Amino acid sequence: MFKTPSLGGLTIDDDGTLYWSDITTSSILSYTTGRVPRRLVTDPRLQWPTTPGLDGHGHLYVSASQLDHSTAFGAPSASISWPITIYRLTLPTTPPPG
């Protein structure tokens, strides 16, 4: 069993691999069709990462939306750093360790 994190967004690749963003750890994770979880990256710059997108050429894009810095999500005052940054991650070409 795999405990899923707080989800910021989710997408699926042509091969059935799921990719999602974890808003609590500023991470991007994957889950293969073989049910193998993999943490691809954790980076403090990924503040509240949203739904990732795939370009079909081995890259995943995700924005650091900083929703937790908005008054709509409980911040006493808006402290979002503009412009919102979109990050590109080159996906691994090797399978996760078994």
Beta-carbon contacts of residue 82 (< 8 Å; ≥ 6 apart):
none
User: pLDDT averaged over the chain?
Assistant: 89
pLDDT tens, position by position, 34-77:
888 899 999 999 999 999 999 989 999 999 999 888 999 888 99
Contact assessment for residue 45 and residue 85, using Cβ atoms and an 8 Å cutoff: yes
| Burial environment of residue 34 by CB neighbours within 10 A (0 to 12, 13 to 18, 19 or more) | exposed
CATH placement of domain 7-90: 2.40.10.500
Write down the domain spans for the chain: 7-90
Calculate Rg over the CA atoms of the chain.
Answer: 14
pTM score: 0.84
